[in-house]
Amino acid sequence: MANAAIVADSLTYRYGELTAVDRISFQVAEGEVLGFLGPNGAGKTTTVRMLTGQLRPMEGTATILGLDVARMPKAVQAQIGVCFETANLYEQMTAVENLRLFGRLFGVKDLNVEALLARVGLDGRGKDRVAGYSKGMRQRLMVARALVNRPRILFLDEPTEGLDPVSAEAIRNLVLEERERGVTVLLTTHNMLEADRLSDRVAFVNQGRIVALDTPHNLKQQYGKRTVKAQVAGEQGRLETRQVTLDAPDTASALQALFSQERVITVHSEEASLEDIFVQLTGRRLTQ
């Protein structure tokens, strides 16, 4: 990859006997959004910790914007923004104080706190202490905090986990805005719909390894099955479901038979979801 912003090369990390991350390798291009999908305990967060300099890899190397993370963690951290899985804000400080503190630590002199709060929908609440915030507001403030240094790379760890639809949508829109600005995003999630919508490519992570890495479209093409699902009137007027797999040799005749022999009420075309493909590849569900 020519302009790789993130390069993970054989990253490995063990917690005692458990190998949490097992020789993971991948690259993320500048301005790309990579969805990191996997169930809890798959090794996503440990990988992010190694990439952001919070953990030192036991094997392999992590390179961010050409800098070796293990050797120059602080130089790397100056150029990245990290949104953690769980809210870790100063609860007895206001949103403005939280953002200003981190702005000063990053050495940002022209930080426009109000504009940043407005971007995450917290305008007007900046002077309230975080202790009084809802979970969604805290998460939005976490994303705002990850943006104080105008990072070139954003690491978002389950940013919409357990949020109300409004807050989740606000965060998703912000990710798309950042991508428009050319920011590279590594989005860790087990929400396949979110990954499908936001990611240029997705990596399926299972038991510390990447089992598939491609665009959502290509993954669906490669592993998914397109189908037509029809509801027909069965005996005594009961609705019954019929399913015809597309791309099969007998698709045409099967569809013809459906429409000629059954009383079709509704027809829907369907393609495989990332969840289906993940299950197919790993035998596990993302939400396990």
Partner 1 sequence: MRWHTLSPLVAKDLALFFRNRFFAFITILGLAAYVGLYLAMPQTVDEIIEVGLHARSDAEPVTEILNAQGLSFLSMDSEQELRQAVLDGVVMGGILLPEGMLADLAQGARPTVAVLVPSDTPAEMREVMVVLVEALALGLSGSPLNLVVHEETLGPDMGGSQIPPRDRMLPLLAVVVLMMETLGLASLIAEEIQTGTLRALMITPLGVGELFAAKGFTSVTMTFAQVSLLMLIIGGLQHQPLLILLTLLLGSLMVTGIGFLMASWGKEMLSVMGIGMLVIIVLSIPPFGVLFPGTVTAWARLIPSHHLADTIHQVANLGAGWGQVWQNLVILLAVDVLLFGLGIAVLKRKLR
Residues in touch with partner 1 (CB under 8 A): 52-55, 74, 77-78, 80, 82, 84, 86, 88-93, 97, 100-102, 104-107, 145, 149
Smallest gap from Cβ 240 to partner 1, in A, equals 52
Smallest gap from Cβ 154 to partner 1, in A, equals 12
Smallest gap from Cβ 90 to partner 1, in A, equals 6
Closer Cβ to partner 1, 74 or 238, answer by number: 74
Closer Cβ to partner 1, 88 or 287, answer by number: 88
Closer Cβ to partner 1, 87 or 279, answer by number: 87
Closer Cβ to partner 1, 87 or 211, answer by number: 87
**In 51-192, beta strands by DSSP E:** 59-64, 67-68, 80-83, 153-157, 184-189
Smallest gap from Cβ 82 to partner 1, in A, equals 5
CA distance 37 to 225: 20
Closer Cβ to partner 1, 156 or 274, answer by number: 156
Which value, to the nearest 10 degrees, does the dihedral of the CA atoms of residues 12, 17, 20, 25 take? 20
Sign of CA dihedral 27, 32, 37, 41: positive
Smallest gap from Cβ 180 to partner 1, in A, equals 24
